[in-house]
Amino acid sequence: MSCGHDHSVEFLPEAIIGQKVENFVLEAFDPEDCGFCEVDLEKIQKEGKWTILFFYPADFTFVCPTELADLATKHAELEKLGCEVVSVSTDTKFVHLAWKNDERLLQDVKFKMAADPTGEVSDFFGVYDPETGLALRGTFIINPEGVLVSSEINFYNVGRNADELLRKVEANVYLKDHPFEACPAKWTPGEKTLTPSEKLVGKVYEQLND
């Protein structure tokens, strides 16, 4: 999947949790320098970063700017955790530029806004709706090794919560350095984790409350 570029790579039929995501390149608008650029998954990985892909249906819509504005409030914290945040829709980079300039809710957006006009990348991640040509609200977390570790897909009418995205990233970053542990429900940094073993079977309450 080359997405308009001459990259001869064979892709998995779909993105699968726990498996490596092959490289893709998308054109994008970068609000930081008000210019156009490329989002290259392989390049992000070479920089040792996590990748957050934030798919949404379309520019100049209604729920979408509230989501991007919410994501912008957590952008700095996600960057500190080593993440490259990228929003993606099937609009072109030129529409992204116009929307960013027109919509006041987007005034604090600094992450790259990628364009997937063919729907190829959206389809790979399972969020492309062929009936509308739009992407559903999908959030994907890819670790620095290129492995997909988290997937969330909402229908058009339900917006997401950047607080929960941040919590999931914090948990995944922690577990990358502590691979033999597991994070229980609602885990946040500093709270107890679980260490799966035969001794933990039927004794989760005790481990969390001792």
Same domain as 171, residue 83: yes
Integer angstrom CA distances of residue 178 from 14, 88, 149, 181, 183? 28, 31, 15, 6, 10
Query: Given a cut of 70, is residue 55 above it in pLDDT?
Result: yes
What is residue 5's DSSP assignment? S
Domain for residue 19, yes or no?
no
Give tens-digit pLDDT for 138-186. 999 999 999 999 999 999 999 999 999 999 999 999 999 999 999 999 9
Distance, CA of 202 to CA of 99 (rounded, Å): 53
DSSP H or E run through 128: strand 128-129
What's the pLDDT score for residue 194? Answer: 96
Same domain as 79, residue 32: yes
What's the pLDDT score for residue 115? Answer: 98
- Helices in the chain by DSSP H: which ranges? 41-46, 63-80, 93-102, 120-124, 162-177, 204-209
What's the pLDDT score for residue 13? Answer: 61
Higher pLDDT, 90 or 1: 90
Give tens-digit pLDDT for 4-36. 444 334 444 689 999 999 899 999 999 999 999
Same domain as 38, residue 116: yes
Host domain of residue 199: 181-210
Give tens-digit pLDDT for 98-111. 999 999 999 999 99
Same domain as 207, residue 119: no
> What is the side-by-side order of every strand in the sheet holding 35-40?
35-40, 25-30, 112-115, 83-89, 50-55, 137-142, 148-154
Integer angstrom CA distances of residue 84 from 49, 50, 87, 91, 200? 6, 6, 10, 20, 36
Mean pLDDT of the chain: 94
What is the value of pTM for the model shown?
0.92
Q: What does the pLDDT average to over 53-64?
A: 98
In this structure, are residues 145 and 51 in contact, taking their beta carbons and an 8 Å threshold?
no
Domain for residue 197, yes or no?
yes
Q: What does the pLDDT average to over 76-88?
A: 98
Query: Given a cut of 90, is residue 1 above it in pLDDT?
Result: no
Same domain as 81, residue 156: yes
Same domain as 71, residue 29: yes
What's the pLDDT score for residue 5? Answer: 41
Opening angle at CA 58, ends 51 and 49, nearest 5 = 5
Domain for residue 10, yes or no?
no
Point out the residues that are catalytic.
64
What's the pLDDT score for residue 14? Answer: 86
Same domain as 64, residue 139: yes
CATH assignment of the domain containing 56: 3.40.30.10
Give tens-digit pLDDT for 39-53. 999 999 999 999 999
Same domain as 189, residue 92: no
Same domain as 123, residue 150: yes
Domain count, the chain: 2
What confidence tier does 210 reach under pLDDT thresholds 50, 70, 90? confident
Domain for residue 5, yes or no?
no
Residue recorded with tokens 């952008």: 75
